[in-house]
């Protein structure tokens, strides 16, 4: 049964290699290959064909899944080649007709999810010993070049035909929406004047010039392309990680009922008016002993299972429930259990499996940070905001804590650096960005903290006694959902990422905001806009007023 106020289609983000329609995964010892073989008539919705290896959200859901499974199920892999299973084309990028037919919310959330998937590739390269190489055996255009930009190295076939390009500006009147511009100058260090020429050059750049401009790392002739890239992958893999034993990621299979979705540890409930959703995480009473081989804990280990469930719920809320404007985070369970789980995460961090779980928790918490919804944390009787789960309090826009005996939270060593935000700081450092010493002092606290002390220390927003509690929380919720969602989204994105700017904050705080705006402008989506007229014989008509 569907929950309140779903979008026209209900999108599921769980899949499995057995169900892939567009990707093929090949694992050969330390080297893996992901082949893009996108099926034209297997898009997310009818009405467009995924020609020339163009993609929609259904393709990116598979890509996100395969990147995740390589990290957990094939940890022995040291290098991943991303290439095309179709001759003459790597990928022509996001399908334009899909974009033209999609709602504004779908376009923006599609770009956001796609970018998070790209960043998971970069995170695997940086932190998991799985280095990604793009093998462009044909034309790579738009998003079809942005995916390679997420890889550590890019190699292009030198066949006098294949080029790389970011043609969104000249063709569509929009931006390369999954970080193409930012990665071009911040990551690949392309000179800004060269970047200016490149992104307005619709036909793109081929061969040696692509190497000279820093757009690719090398070119090989057609006759030697496949073997040359594979030889490089073997070199990069450096034998891989044969000592690692993979863990199968079991299906989540949540149970849906009226206004509610129940996982094993996470419950999501949408209010009757469809404006508010509550996400409640329950910590189990028992904590399994740590086996000699940590990976024997499997994918059912609470820290991994619970955050996989939370991640899935967040994605469903983004795409399926656009009217939900406020998330309420709640927790339940025994503090001692959560302390024990955090001790396992901390003391065994050198183990590849525990390390990978920590990285996944980090990525899920970043997904929380990038939600275009308001977020309140509710710390009440029975709450278990301990250590890793206290990160949700720090991530929330506000936190409300009941001033009553027995209502406390605790910090653990993981709050001091295990889960950095996109700005490179911990959430505690971001909270006290003007005083790093104070942030360090707060993160080092190890006792149960009650409401009054928490308020004095600046670790919650509001402490309320039993008399005022219900009214305080109710009025805060009513006020929040009455405000303009546009201004709230802009406000939240500006406030949440105090401190230094990074490639990641530029993409989500700057590029996503601009793309959001451009996707509503007549020059792109109006009756005579470039995106609206794409594929037709008519030329776009632009309003040349700069704003």
Instruction: Give residues with Cβ within 8 angstroms of 494, minimum separation 6.
Output: 509
- pTM score, two decimals? 0.95
Which pLDDT does position 514 carry in this prediction? 83
Report how far residue 239's alpha carbon sits from residue 229's, in angstroms, rounded to the nearest whole number: 16
| Residue 153 buriedness (CB in 10 A; 0-12 / 13-18 / 19+) | buried
Report how far residue 2's alpha carbon sits from residue 91's, in angstroms, rounded to the nearest whole number: 35
For 171, the token pair is 């063709």
Q: Which domains does the chain have, with CATH numbers?
A: 17-237 (3.90.226.10), 255-494 (3.90.226.10)
Report how far residue 128's alpha carbon sits from residue 25's, in angstroms, rounded to the nearest whole number: 18
Residue 34 contacts residue 120 (beta carbons within 8 Å): no
| Statement: residue 88 has pLDDT above 50 | yes
**21-25, 110-114, 364-368, 452-456: least confident range:** 110-114
| CA–centroid distance for 212 within its chain | 32
**163-172, 438-447, 514-523: least confident range:** 514-523
Percent of the chain with pLDDT over 70: 98
Average pLDDT, rounded, for the chain? 95
Q: What's the pLDDT band for 510 if we cut at 50, 70, 90? A: confident
| Statement: residue 8 has pLDDT above 80 | no
Which pLDDT does position 512 carry in this prediction? 78
Q: How many CB atoms are closer than 10 A to CB 27? A: 15
Q: Give CA angle at 392 (387, 393), nearest 5°.
A: 90
Which pLDDT does position 513 carry in this prediction? 80
Closest CA to 372 of 262, 457, 485: 485
pLDDT tens readout for residues 419-475: 999 999 999 999 999 999 999 999 999 999 999 999 999 999 999 999 999 999 999
From edge to edge, which strands make up the β-sheet containing 31-36? 23-28, 31-36, 79-84, 131-136, 153-158, 218-221
pLDDT tens readout for residues 48-60: 999 999 999 999 9
**246-250, 467-471, 539-543: least confident range:** 539-543
Which pLDDT does position 116 carry in this prediction? 96
| Statement: residue 6 has pLDDT above 70 | no
Average pLDDT over residues 254-265: 93
Q: What's the pLDDT band for 3 if we cut at 50, 70, 90? A: very low
pLDDT tens readout for residues 270-320: 999 999 999 999 999 999 999 999 999 999 999 999 999 999 999 999 999
Report how far residue 414's alpha carbon sits from residue 517's, in angstroms, rounded to the nearest whole number: 37
pLDDT tens readout for residues 301-313: 999 999 999 999 9
Using CA atoms in the order 53, 58, 59, 62, what is the torsion angle rounded to 10 degrees?
-160
Report how far residue 446's alpha carbon sits from residue 467's, in angstroms, rounded to the nearest whole number: 29
Classify the C-alpha dihedral 15-17-23-25 as positive or negative: positive
Residue 138 contacts residue 162 (beta carbons within 8 Å): yes
Average pLDDT over residues 147-155: 98
Which pLDDT does position 515 carry in this prediction? 82
| Statement: residue 1 has pLDDT above 60 | no
Report how far residue 393's alpha carbon sits from residue 386's, in angstroms, rounded to the nearest whole number: 10
pLDDT tens readout for residues 15-30: 999 999 999 999 999 9
Q: What's the pLDDT band for 2 if we cut at 50, 70, 90? A: very low
Instruction: Give residues with Cβ within 8 angstroms of 40, minimum separation 6.
Output: 49, 50, 51
Which pLDDT does position 9 carry in this prediction? 61
Percent of the chain with pLDDT over 90: 89
């Amino acid at each position: 049964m569907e929950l309140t106020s779903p979008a026209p289609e209900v999108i599921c983000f769980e899949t499995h290699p057995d169900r892939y329609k567009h990707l093929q995964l090949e694992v050969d010892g330390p080297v893996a290959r992901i082949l893009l073989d996108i099926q034209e008539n297997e898009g997310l919705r009818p009405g467009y064909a995924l020609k020339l290896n163009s993609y929609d959200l259904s393709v990116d859901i598979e890509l996100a899944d395969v990147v995740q499974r390589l990290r957990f199920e094939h940890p022995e892999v040291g290098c991943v080649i991303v290439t095309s299973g179709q001759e003459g084309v790597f990928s022509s990028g996001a399908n334009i007709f899909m974009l033209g037919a999609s709602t504004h919310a779908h376009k923006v959330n599609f770009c956001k999810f796609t970018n998070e998937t790209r960043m998971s590739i970069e995170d695997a390269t940086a932190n998991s010993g799985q280095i990604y190489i793009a093998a462009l055996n044909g034309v790579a255009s738009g998003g079809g070049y942005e995916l390679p930009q997420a890889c550590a190295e890019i190699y292009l076939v030198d066949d006098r035909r294949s080029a790389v390009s970011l043609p969104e500006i000249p063709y569509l009147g929009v931006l390369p929406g999954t970080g193409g511009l930012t990665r071009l100058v911040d990551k690949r260090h392309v000179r800004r004047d060269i970047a200016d020429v490149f992104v307005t050059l619709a036909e793109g750049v081929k061969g040696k010039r692509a190497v000279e401009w820093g757009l690719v790392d090398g070119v090989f002739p057609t006759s030697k392309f496949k073997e040359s890239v594979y030889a490089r992958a073997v070199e990069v893999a450096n034998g891989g990680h044969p000592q690692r034993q993979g863990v199968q990621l079991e299906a989540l299979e949540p149970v849906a009922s009226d206004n509610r979705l129940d996982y094993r540890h996470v419950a999501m409930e949408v209010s009757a008016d469809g404006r508010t959703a509550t996400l409640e995480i329950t910590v189990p009473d028992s904590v399994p002993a740590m086996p000699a081989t940590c990976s024997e804990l499997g994918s059912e280990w609470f820290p991994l299972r619970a955050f996989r469930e939370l991640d899935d719920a967040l994605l469903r809320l983004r795409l399926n429930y656009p009217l939900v404007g406020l998330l309420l985070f709640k927790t339940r369970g025994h503090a001692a259990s959560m302390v024990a789980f955090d001790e396992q995460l901390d003391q065994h961090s050198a183990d590849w499996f525990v390390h990978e779980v920590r990285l996944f928790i980090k990525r899920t918490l970043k997904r929380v940070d990038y939600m275009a919804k308001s977020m309140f944390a509710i710390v009440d009787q029975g709450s278990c905001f301990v250590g890793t789960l206290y990160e949700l309090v720090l991530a929330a826009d506000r936190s409300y804590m009941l001033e009553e005996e027995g209502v406390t939270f605790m910090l653990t060593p993981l709050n001091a650096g295990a889960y950095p935000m996109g700005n490179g700081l911990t959430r505690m450092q971001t909270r006290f960005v003007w005083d790093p010493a104070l942030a360090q002092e707060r993160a080092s606290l190890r006792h149960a903290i009650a409401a009054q002390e928490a308020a004095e220390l600046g670790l919650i927003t509001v402490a309320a006694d039993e008399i005022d509690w219900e009214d305080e929380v109710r009025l805060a919720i009513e006020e929040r959902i009455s405000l303009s969602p546009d201004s709230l989204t802009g406000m939240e994105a500006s406030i949440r990422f105090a401190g230094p700017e990074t490639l990641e904050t530029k993409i989500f705080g700057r590029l996503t905001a601009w793309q959001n705006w451009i996707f509503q402008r007549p020059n792109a989506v109006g009756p005579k806009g470039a995106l609206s007229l794409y594929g037709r014989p008519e030329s776009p008509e632009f309003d040349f007023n700069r704003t």
